[in-house]
A and B are shown apart, each in its own frame.
Chain A
Amino acid sequence: MITETRPLISVTGLTTQFGSQVVHQDLKMEIPEGSIFGVVGGSGSGKTVLMRTLLGLNHPAHGQVSIDGLNPFLPEDQKKLQTRVGVMFQGGALFSSLTIGENLIYPLMEIAHLPQDLAKMIAALRLKMVGLEVDTLQKYPSQLSGGMVKRAALARALALDPKILFLDEPTSGLDPNRSQTFDELIKTLRKNLGLTVMMITHDQESLNFLCDHVGAIVDKKIVSGPLERVMAHPHPWIQDFFWGERGKRVFASQKGGR
């Protein structure tokens, strides 16, 4: 199903540190085009820091990052990346003083310079794609439930027709049923829109259901590759994550290969 193609995102020799605290050391990874790449790791292992670095929000001490052939730390490349990258932050990061509709229209009008009526139609379309009703457009983020905020945030991340979607714990804080529907939504969107997705997750179910490639951040480095290959890695944390009591239940189906 997945054909190996050129890496869309590649990171080499990445070292990130805050003061004397080293978060990543000489980290190297590649995310193939068209894959759903799940990032796992213990609390504080630097999953979100890695995502922020890829987005150019956090400057690494050393190392190169290339996203779709562009460098997120160069101002001229950043401009090109604006419309190629969509991000859904952990808490949604919807602008609280704007309605959901205005949240969606804002990037369309500011970056793509769409006329307002067209932007409104596109916003309504995006909202329906993530399974929300059109009347949600008029509501403020504080009026929505946790699951709806996640969906609206996903709609905003998709607003600019990105090639690459970054998701920071998309299903955290959702009940299992909603997590499952959300995972299915991401899968459908990926298939329909041909996205490459990088998602940070703690949820083994999501990982098993969605991701074909996995990166496990352990000891300041990342072990990445197709899911079954990472699962076989001998590192104790990885063994524990995939083959611990919880992991075993979830990943049992993986044993026979996919």
Chain B
Amino acid sequence: MGAVNFISDESGEVILQLSGKWSLLSAKDLQEEIRTLPLPRQKTIRVRWNHITGADVTGSWVLHSLLQHLSHRGNHLVLPLDQGPMYQLLQLVDTYASKEKSPQTSPHYSLTDMLFHLGKRFVTYKENISKATNFLGFVIHNLIQTFRRAQPFSWTSLAYHLEQVGLRAMPIVGLLGVLIGVVLVYQSVDQLRRFGAEVFTVDLLGISVTREIGVLITSILVAGRSGSAFAAQIGLMRLNQEIDALDVMGLRPVATLVIPRVLALIISLPLLTLFANFVALGGGAAMCGIILDMPFSAFMHQLNLSLDIKHLWVGLIKAPFFALAIGLIGCFEGFQVQRGAEDLGRHTTKAVVESIFLVICLDALFSVFFSKIGM
């Protein structure tokens, strides 16, 4: 005996007997019951809802669709005469009931839509590149203006960002540097031992760390740490209309927000790189001591033989360029934020991915350049 039953009385009349709770929480079971309900052959059905103990909008909807279904089938429904709560709820549902069978709740995508989006993405990409180039020019112009003291410059802001992106990055850069040194030595000793050339581990370590790995690891870390922070800070300021407020006050957002950040990065990244180089070599030296029994003096001697000062320069020269790339992309993506938190998150991610990508591209270009000029 469920909540929905067809019964026939003495006179042979079919009665739709409804009972129980017709509410949100019972809606699922009710619908299931209705789906498996054998429908009567008689045309006239008398509806009785006086045994319903409680109903809400969702439950009434289920009842409403059952009654609709029956009358579409050609049944003649005789509703009770009482105009109690059940009747009123049914009236309410009937007023707002949607004619559509299954309303769309998610945007529908067809093949042409997909093509459209692909094309749109491509165009946006192109536009973004020109926007970014525009931004680069604008920032460089502002940098020059700042150096020529043609516009005010906030030393406090620079100091603050130097602390944030430089000083505060030192612990993690240091830790990573040591680990990289250790890993490099550990890996190369194994390979070089086969040729009896363990001593060249030091050469490998020295050159790879100073030329490439030191600066790359530092840049990637800073891109993740500061590039994302720039994008998020500026993006949030945009959402709060703080950028507009600056603009209206005549304080140019690029000069006040971007220049100190980018300058701080340009100053701190080479210093961080130098620091990373030192700790990586230190970690490598310690590892050489442990697995090769190489005393520190021997390590230094070997390093002296192999490592020329130009290798150090090759690494350090790249750092300001990487810094410019990271800072520009971080700030640029921050300025691109337009709507809401989701957009902010997307642009922050983009800032990190793009700046790491650009750093590695630049590094490849620099490799070609340095090999051409014989450094």
Contacts and interface: CB of A to CB of B under 8 A. Distances in A.
Given A97-B342, A101-B105, A125 B28 contact: no
Contacts of A122: 57-58, 61
A121 B31 contact: no
A96 B343 CA distance: 10
B104 A112 contact: no
A113 B342 CA distance: 28
B105 A142 contact: no
Contact of B62 (A118, A123, A126): A118
Interface in B199-225: none
Given A83-B25, A114-B28, A96 B58 contact: no
Contacts of A118: 27-28, 31, 62
Contacts of B62: 118
B341 to A, nearest CB: 6
A135 B24 CA distance: 24
Nearest to B26: A112
Given A99-B107, A117-B102, A112 B27 contact: yes
A230 to B, nearest CB: 31
Interface string B265-298: 0000000000000000000000000000000000
Contacts of B25: 83, 112
B21 to A, nearest CB: 12
Counting chain A residues whose Cβ lies within 8 A of the other chain, the interface size class is 35 or more
Counting chain B residues whose Cβ lies within 8 A of the other chain, the interface size class is 20 to 34
B106 interface: yes
A176 interface: no
Interface in B55-82: 56-58, 61-62, 65
A193 interface: yes
A115 B61 contact: no
Contact of B105 (A120, A160, A193): A120
A138 B28 contact: no
B341 A101 contact: no
Contact of B24 (A105, A112, A120, A121): A112
Contacts of A112: 24-25, 27-28, 58
B102 A138 contact: no
B93 A113 contact: no
B88 interface: yes
A115 B105 CA distance: 14
5 contacts: A101-B104, A112-B27, A114-B58, A118-B62, A121-B65
Interface of A: 83, 96-97, 99-102, 104-105, 108, 112-115, 117-118, 120-126, 128-129, 134-135, 137-138, 142, 158, 160-161, 192-193
